[in-house]
Amino acid sequence: MADSMSHEDIQKHIRVYMMIFASLAVLTVATVAVAYLHLYIHMSFWISLIIALSIAIIKGGLVARYFMHLKSEKKVIYITLVITIVFLLFMFALFISAYHGQAGGHIVS
């Protein structure tokens, strides 16, 4: 089956991968820019962290969707992915509550 792909199909796939690569490169530059904005214009640490994490989520989604081929997977893969994300958020909540408890109720910067 893989041998029956036409030249146009292959070119289309290469074009998509190059566009994703360019998007990841631009988003990486944006992440670095957000870090410098925090240093130069004294933007709030939490705002710059939220922006940087949002960019990282978008980049991770692009990698998972195109390079890990989740775009064409079945629903079972998506259910597993959702369960994993819920577990990750639960673990973050545990970590933050434990850190908050050790800091004596104060978040240390």
- Which whole number is the average pLDDT over 83-90? 94
Torsions phi, psi for 44 (to 5 deg): -55, 140
Q: Do 58 and 84 sit in the same domain of this protein? A: no
pLDDT tens by residue, 91-107: 999 988 887 777 665 55
Length of the chain: 109
Residue 106, domain extent: 73-109
pLDDT tens by residue, 13-70: 899 999 999 999 999 999 999 888 877 777 777 788 888 899 999 999 899 888 887 7
CA angle 9/11/68 to nearest 5° reads: 80
Q: Do 9 and 55 sit in the same domain of this protein? A: yes
- Quote the pLDDT of residue 72: 73
Q: How many structural domains is the chain composed of?
A: 2
Give the residue, 74 or 33, on which the prediction is more confident: 33
State the pTM of this model: 0.64
Q: Which residues contact 83 (CB under 8 A, 6 or more apart)?
A: none
Q: Do 55 and 94 sit in the same domain of this protein? A: no
Q: Do 95 and 42 sit in the same domain of this protein? A: no
pLDDT at 74 over 60: yes
Q: Are 13 and 72 in contact (CB under 8 A)?
A: no
Q: Do 2 and 45 sit in the same domain of this protein? A: yes
